[in-house]
């Protein structure tokens, strides 16, 4: 239900929509399980790198694998993102479900590896070739052996996510009621997983 705006939230320069939906009471184990369930339902995300002289640059990427809190992507080593990561290994991966409005944000550090990484063959699927093309020279053919095929691994440092607690109809009703009454919409829970949580997740990946 919508909640009234408090003077203390304004005076303390608090963002009421975050404060009212912030969840630090749910047991951490449940928060981690629901993070996995939420992000595993969103296979396409935005990988954001930092480009020298410009700033953040994002592009859509399909997740090749989630390994606990970390994410792996297959990519063409000739793309600009590899130049970005050579200069700045900081990156962010974001996901959003347009139906539920659930979203996930992972801030981390990237490592890259070339075609000799055995994980590439494990993660490769035939559909990947569509993004590489086949030159017809027997080498640059979009397969796992293509020398252009490389791996990006985003090692998480911080995770935040928002999970809806209402269905689509209730979401619209909640927002409309909040707008009409001057209250603040409360449609879900926002959570964070910090470095301590992430290290624990790596020890017991799911």
pLDDT for res 22 = 87
pLDDT for res 104 = 98
pLDDT for res 188 = 81
Residue 184 DSSP one-character state:
B
Residue 17 DSSP one-character state:
H
Burial class (CB in 10 A: 0-12, 13-18, 19+), 10: exposed
DSSP 42-97: --EEEEEEEETTTEEEEEEEE-SEEETTEEEEEEETTSHHHHHHHH--EEEEEEE-
Q: Domain map of the chain by residue range?
A: 27-163+191-201
Count the neighbouring beta carbons within 10 Å of the beta carbon of residue 179.
11
Residue 12 DSSP one-character state:
T
**pTM score, two decimals?**
0.88
pLDDT for res 103 = 97
Residue ranges, the chain, pLDDT below 50 = none
CATH fold, domain 27-163+191-201, is Pnp Oxidase; Chain A (2.30.110)
pLDDT for res 49 = 98
pLDDT for res 8 = 75
pLDDT for res 170 = 59
Count the neighbouring beta carbons within 10 Å of the beta carbon of residue 43.
12
pLDDT for res 178 = 56
List the structure tokens of 71. 């994410």
């Amino acid at each position: 239900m919508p909640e009234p705006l408090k003077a203390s939230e304004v005076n303390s320069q608090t963002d009421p929509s975050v404060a009212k939906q912030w969840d630090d009471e749910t047991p951490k184990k449940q928060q981690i399980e629901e993070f996995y369930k939420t992000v595993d339902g969103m296979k396409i995300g935005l990988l954001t790198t930092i480009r020298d002289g410009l700033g953040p640059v994002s592009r859509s990427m399909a997740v090749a694998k989630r390994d606990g809190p970390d994410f792996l992507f297959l990519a063409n080593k000739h793309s600009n993102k590899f130049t970005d990561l050579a200069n700045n290994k900081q990156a962010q991966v974001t996901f959003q479900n347009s139906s539920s409005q659930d979203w996930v944000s992972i801030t981390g550090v990237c490592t890259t590896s070339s075609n000799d990484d055995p994980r590439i063959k494990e993660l490769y699927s035939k559909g990947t070739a569509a993004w590489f093309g086949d030159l017809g020279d027997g080498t640059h053919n979009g397969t796992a052996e293509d020398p252009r095929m490389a791996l990006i691994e985003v090692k998480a440092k911080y995770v935040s996510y928002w999970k809806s607690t209402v269905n689509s109809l209730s979401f619209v009703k909640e927002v409309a009621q909040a707008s009409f009454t001057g209250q603040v919409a409360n449609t879900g829970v926002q959570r964070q997983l910090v470095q301590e949580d992430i290290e624990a997740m790596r020890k017991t990946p799911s």
